[in-house]
Amino acid sequence: MPLYREQHLQEVSQQFQIYGQILHAEPCKIGHINETYTATYDQGGVLVRYIHQRINQTVFRQPVAVMENVMRVTTHLRQKLVALGARQMTRRALTVVPTRDGKSYYCDGNGEFWRTFVFVERVQSFESVQNPSQALEAGKAFGEFQALLADLPGERLHETIPDFHNTRKRFDALRRAIEVDHCNRAQFASREIEFALRQESWVSTLLDAHARGDIPERITHNDTKFNNVMLDWETGRAMCVVDLDTVMPGLVHYDFGDMVRTTTSPTLEDEKDLSKVEMQMPMFEALARGYVGAASGFLNPAERRYLAFAGRLITFTIGIRFLADYLAGDTYFRVHRPDHNLDRSRTQFKLVESIMQQEEAMQKLIDSL
């Protein structure tokens, strides 16, 4: 980490209610959005770790609203878990460390917003699912997450990114990106553009169902990648869900669909060898059993009927977001190589095709649960 950044991070760390001396910090190379550091402190001879994170205000333009949501959600999760007799609470739900003046965030002299979490120890995450038991744990984790928040009291949560999973608006944004072709990249993505535009007839399916009143608004995570589930080192059991910036009102299908996208294919979301990309039914069965088992207490029949379709829709939605960002010059998602977002979109579209081929069987499985 550059010396200037390390010095600034030390200054930031002193603003939070952490006791002891910071020894060192190192960047976490995870996630596409925020700047994250793991910091180690000496507290009475014991080494204790925390997470310091700078909120990306290009993506989250209302960081105070983000933190209000995070505080309400984490507080409610802890209360519900305590009522259920859960143990090791700092491993079961994220714990926000307040600032010296009691706030959930610190705004530095540059106008950058920082927050701190207790580090969740003895857990690990994976970029892709290794076996069906992990898919089962992912389904349980996010199903339980939705179930515990189903009775969150108070006002409606803030929409931290309005229309985040609004596929119709994402589709329209893609169309505009194609027309503008700001970086003259459309010529290199002609097949992906053609595929995306052919799918328009079904992009509003969930929005229409919600508008009819068939499926209700819930509190959803909205970024249910498998690496947002922390698994216990020893048991492999899901301990907690992380990355709560996009927790807001949504449809359960947004979460389940993204789980299908990130847990049922054996590849990473930027796999370049498309022959490896496939929706694997054993993984889907484990995922569906875990999720429906945890969420069955509040899901209505109409919500269940759209679960398999959600895998197709959300995978496609993420795919067109990657494609639009590629055409716009990689302004949203962090990229690590040339054409990274184009590779990501290709992987999503191949998975969409695989899901469509198996969607009827997927829904029959869900109906049987």
Q: Could you report the per-residue pLDDT of 59-111, keeping only the tens digit for each?
A: 899 999 999 999 999 999 999 999 999 999 999 999 999 999 999 999 999 99
273-288 per-position pLDDT tens digit: 999 999 999 999 999 9
What's the pLDDT at 32? 60
In DSSP terms, 232 is beta-bridged to 123
The mean of the pLDDT values for the chain is 95
Calculate helix-pair angle for 190-198, 167-180, nearest 10 degrees.
Answer: 140
Contact 47, 40 (CB under 8 A): yes
CATH number of 3-121: 3.30.200.20
What's the pLDDT at 5? 76
For residue 134, give both structure tokens: 């992990």
Segment among 21-30, 117-126, 294-303 with least mean pLDDT = 21-30
Contact 100, 70 (CB under 8 A): no
In DSSP terms, 97 is beta-bridged to 116
173-214 per-position pLDDT tens digit: 999 999 999 999 999 999 999 999 999 999 999 999 999 999
Q: How confident is the model at residue 25 (pLDDT cuts 50, 70, 90)?
A: very high
What's the pLDDT at 218? 98
In DSSP terms, 25 is beta-bridged to 39
329-349 per-position pLDDT tens digit: 999 888 999 999 999 999 999
Query: Which residue is it, tokens 């909120």?
Result: 55
What's the pLDDT at 127? 82
124-156 burial: b if 16+ Cβ within 10 Å, else e = eeeebbeebebbbbbbbbbbbbbbbbeebeeee
What's the pLDDT at 334? 83
Question: CB neighbours of 208 closer than 8 A, spacing ≥ 6?
Answer: none
- CATH fold of 132-368 reads Aminoglycoside 3'-phosphotransferase; Chain: A, domain 2 (3.90.1200)
In three-state form (DSSP H/G/I as H, E/B as E, the rest C), the secondary structure along the chain is: CCHHHHHHHHHHHCCECCCCEEEEEEECCCCCCCEEEEEEEEECCEEEEEEEEECCCCCCCCHHHHHHHHHHHHHHHHHHHHHCCCCCHHHHCCCEECECCCCCCEECCCCCEEEEEECCCCEECCCCCCCHHHHHHHHHHHHHHHHHHCCCCCCCCCCCCCCCCCHHHHHHHHHHHHHHCCCCCHHHCHHHHHHHHHCHHHCCHHHHHHHCCCCCCEEECCCCCHHHEEEECCCCCEEEECCCCCCEEECHHHHHHHHHHHHCCCCCCCCCCHHHCCCCHHHHHHHHHHHHHHHCCCCCHHHHHCHHHHHHHHHHHHHHHHHHHHHHCCCCCCCCCCCHHHHHHHHHHHHHHHHHHHHHHHHHHHHHC
Residue 26 has pLDDT above 70, yes or no: yes
Indicate the domain borders of the chain: 3-121, 132-368
For the entire predicted model, the pTM comes to: 0.92
Contact 229, 198 (CB under 8 A): no
Range 223-252 average pLDDT: 96
Range 309-328 average pLDDT: 98
What's the pLDDT at 210? 98
Cα–Cα nearest to 92, from 55, 122, 53, 128: 122
Residue 3 has pLDDT above 60, yes or no: no
User: Which residue type is seen at 204?
Assistant: S
Domains 3-121 and 132-368 share a fold: no
Contact 362, 284 (CB under 8 A): yes
